[in-house]
Amino acid sequence: MVTPQPYFRARGTPFSVLHRVRALCEIGFHVDMVTYPFGEDVAFDGLNIIRSGNWGFIKDVKIGPSIQKIFLDISLYFTTRKLLKKNTYDVIHSHEEAAFFAMQLAKKYNMLHVYDMHSSLPQQLANFNTFNLSFIKKIFENLENRVLNSCNAAITICPELADLVESHDLDIPHELIENTADDSKVFSSSHTDMRREHSLQEKKIILYTGTFETYQGIDILFNAFKKVLNENSKAYLVLVGGREEQVKNYKQLAASLGVNGSALFTGMVHPSKIPSCIEAADMIVSPRSTGTNTPLKIYGYLRSGKPIVATDMLTHTQVLNKDVAVLVPPTEQGLKEGMCELINNPKLGIEKAQAAKQLAEEKYSDAIYMQKVKKLYDALNLDKS
């Protein structure tokens, strides 16, 4: 398995990689995972973590395309090639842009290639506004098409990507495997009473968890929250995640809006602490403003027993509907009205949270996730020994 991300890091694709490799190990495969030179060693029986070399001047890597990622992917390629010269494998399972070199290596070493497609890479250039030039996007489109037309199996993580793969009319195994795996299967909950710890017993806690990238819509969330606070002084915003410099910037925004006294920034926390944050919340909000891939965290939110406010966009509505969440326009007023609706009508929140849990059990359980991974690999007719 080749993954061009830090493994493990508490953010989208690394979570997906974590559960993909967990599933393969539980099925009975041995997995050598080649990954970036930093991250937490979350291990499973049958997993061997192999870290690529570092260039010395790179201490970490941000989410999305970057110059640092180019250098790290070069190291990832050479480490992968070295392993393939030394060992014999049945499959090279590539994530994201690692597929660009994995398709060539699979052909050279007579291996099957499974492409794990977490996003459309040309679209990422636009989402992050990095290398977002027409000729670069065209190169990425051509590479993506070559991967899809040459791989032996494909995994997608949301309906839009599944439709993209199906549009190629490929005669290969393809599974839509949403990121529904249960983090509690890996991380034991480290329980703390957030309300008592921060003296929030009387507050109406609105929780955001995730990265602080621009597409997440946190600017919109803060402007909406100011309006909520004007109507309900007990409203309180808790934000879990964000790099240090991002947290600093949003603290300045909160101060400029005059809501800093009603907002708590925890910074990045270990996944074991997320359940305590969710337990303390009165509602969970996902204000994403751009993109089409379903946020991985949405599946956990469905299981949480807490009502959800989310923007009415494809990124959410591929999974959420008006029965299980309050769906609002991706605007300050839209988010404000959605949050106020749940504050003023707790019964509505209970009804939607119960419906969300039922949906999660029926369509997005950990067991269903494991079955889908097994189905794809069964179609490859591999000998796990």
Instruction: Quote the pLDDT of residue 120.
Output: 85
Of 333, 187, 311, 124, the C-alpha closest to 298 is: 311
Contact (Cβ atoms closer than 8 angstroms) between residue 175 and residue 369: no
Domain 12-182+366-378 sits in CATH at: 3.40.50.2000
The whole-chain average pLDDT of the chain stands at 93
The CATH architecture one would assign to domain 194-363 is: 3-Layer(aba) Sandwich (3.40)
Helix or strand run (H / E) with residue 47:
strand 47-51
pLDDT band at 59 (very low <50, low <70, confident <90, very high): confident
Q: What is the pLDDT of residues 194-244, one digit of tens each?
A: 999 999 999 999 999 999 999 999 999 999 999 999 999 999 999 999 999
Q: How far from 268 is each of 10, 178, 364, CA to CA, in Å?
A: 8, 24, 26
State residue 221 phi and psi, 5-degree precision. -60, -45
- Mean pLDDT on 136-155: 92
Question: Model's pTM, two decimal places?
Answer: 0.85
Instruction: Quote the pLDDT of residue 192.
Output: 87
DSSP 341-365: HHHH-HHHHHHHHHHHHHHHHHHS-
User: Residue 286, by phi and psi: left (phi above 0), alpha (psi -120 to 50) or beta?
Assistant: beta
Identity at 248, one-letter amino acid code: K
Residue 384 clears pLDDT 70, i.e. is over it:
no
Residue 65 clears pLDDT 90, i.e. is over it:
no
Identity at 141, one-letter amino acid code: E
Of 362, 278, 288, 290, the C-alpha closest to 324 is: 362
Q: Where are the domains of the chain?
A: 12-182+366-378, 194-363
Residue 143 clears pLDDT 70, i.e. is over it:
yes
Structure tokens at 162: 């599944």
Q: What is the pLDDT of residues 236-274, one digit of tens each?
A: 999 999 999 999 999 999 999 999 999 999 999 999 999
